């Protein structure tokens, strides 16, 4: 008598198949340990003081230009880009953007990126692109900075207030209609180097409302140069990967979770490859 056919293997074919599911391997990723040599505390303080002076100069220039009515996005693409480039030069940082050709030079789109470090502000700023950040509402309350960020068209989000969150979403949609680029961190906060946190849904609601392309951008190692909640800095190359743009024309609220998983998988692939290159567990 023939034996019954074997039951199909219920396990996912690869770790990537499980991303977004109950056994999502990316949620189990541990921080990549910092094996760098200690940086002189005096040198670190010197670098940080210089970075603050550069910020004061370009911040004052940008604030002045915004005050006299210069277009906020011109300020964002020029003085703020000079500021980002100056900070990176001073700190000894450069960046490598794999897949840069996938990032359009114009037109509306949404960049969805993982977030590791404040250093990323310099990197994105130095690109000279009219990125509109979706920021925590706390930034709007910082004296001078909050006013300036409003002047150059940034969007603040209060997740605890539904009506305010909807208003912020509508404001972001309007920025996209103006042809701007939205940059949003779906994890909602900085994460340890080499990890990927749970995603919030704001970026995906925005994509469904606007139907502009979503471009996942994997930030690989900024947290190794300036970790979250730390001022211990070292020079180096910030490495990023631009993933293939995702068409959102057919996206609907009913399928939002599927789209979140799709974007998460796109980011997980280069991050897993990076982890594996360092001998850490990937997918």
CA pair distance 243, 271, nearest whole angstrom: 11
- Mapped onto helix, strand or coil, the DSSP state of residue 139 is helix
User: What pLDDT digit, counting tens, does each position of 158-182 carry?
Assistant: 877 788 888 888 889 999 998 889 9
pLDDT of residue 35: 63
Confidence of residue 1 (pLDDT cuts 50, 70, 90): very low
Q: What is the mean pLDDT of residues 136-141?
A: 80
Tokens of 71: 């277009």
Closest CA to 242 of 216, 261, 221, 223: 216
Neighbours of 175 (CB within 10 A): 21
Confidence of residue 12 (pLDDT cuts 50, 70, 90): very low
CATH number of 39-277: 3.40.1130
- Cβ atoms of 267 and 196 within 8 Å: the answer is yes
Which of 29-38, 77-86, 88-97 is predicted with the least confidence, judged by mean pLDDT? 29-38
Ranked by mean pLDDT, the top range of 52-66, 120-134, 137-151, 187-201 is: 187-201
Number of helices and strands (H, E) in the chain?
A: 10, 7
User: What pLDDT digit, counting tens, does each position of 93-134 carry?
Assistant: 999 999 999 999 888 999 999 999 989 989 998 887 878 888
**Strands 236-242 and 109-113: what pairing?**
unpaired
Question: Torsion-angle region of residue 253: left (phi > 0), alpha (psi -120 to 50) or beta?
Answer: alpha
User: Percent of the chain having pLDDT more than 90?
Assistant: 43
Q: How many degrees, rounded to 5, is the angle at CA 134 between CA 173 and CA 237?
A: 125
**Strands 236-242 and 131-136: what pairing?**
unpaired
pTM equals 0.85
pLDDT of residue 14: 60
pLDDT of residue 11: 43
CA pair distance 21, 24, nearest whole angstrom: 5
Neighbours of 213 (CB within 10 A): 19
- Cβ atoms of 179 and 106 within 8 Å: the answer is yes
**pLDDT for residue 38 is more than 70:** no
Mean of pLDDT over the chain: 85
% helix, strand, coil for the chain, step of 5: 45, 15, 40
189-200 core/surface letters (b: 16 or more CB in 10 A; e: else): ebbbbbbbbebb
**pLDDT for residue 282 is more than 80:** no
């Amino acid at each position: 008598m023939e034996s019954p056919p074997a039951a199909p293997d219920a396990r996912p074919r690869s770790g990537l198949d499980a991303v977004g599911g109950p056994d999502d391997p990316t949620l189990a990723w541990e921080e990549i340990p910092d094996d760098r040599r200690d940086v002189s505390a005096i040198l670190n303080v010197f670098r940080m003081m210089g970075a603050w002076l550069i910020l004061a100069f370009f911040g004052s220039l940008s604030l002045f230009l915004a005050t006299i009515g210069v277009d906020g996005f011109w300020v964002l693409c020029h003085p703020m880009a000079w500021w980002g480039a100056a900070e990176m030069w001073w700190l000894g940082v450069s960046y490598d953007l794999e897949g840069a050709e996938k990032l359009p030079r114009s037109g509306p789109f949404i960049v969805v990126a993982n977030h590791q470090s404040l250093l990323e502000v310099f990197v994105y700023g130095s690109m000279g692109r009219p990125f509109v950040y979706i920021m925590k509402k706390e930034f709007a309350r910082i004296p001078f900075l909050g006013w300036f960020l409003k002047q150059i068209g940034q969007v603040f989000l209060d997740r605890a207030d539904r009506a305010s969150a909807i208003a912020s979403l509508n404001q972001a949609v309007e920025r996209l209609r103006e042809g701007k680029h939205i940059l949003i961190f779906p994890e909602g906060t900085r994460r340890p180097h080499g990890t990927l946190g749970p995603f919030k849904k704001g970026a995906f609601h925005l994509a469904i409302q606007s139907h502009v392309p979503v471009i996942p951008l994997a930030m690989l190692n900024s947290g190794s140069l300036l970790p979250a909640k730390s001022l211990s800095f070292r020079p180096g190359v910030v490495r990023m990967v631009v993933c293939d743009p995702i068409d959102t024309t057919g996206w609907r609220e009913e399928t939002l979770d599927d789209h979140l998983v799709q974007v998460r998988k796109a980011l997980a692939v280069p991050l897993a490859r990076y982890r594996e290159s360092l001998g850490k567990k990937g997918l």
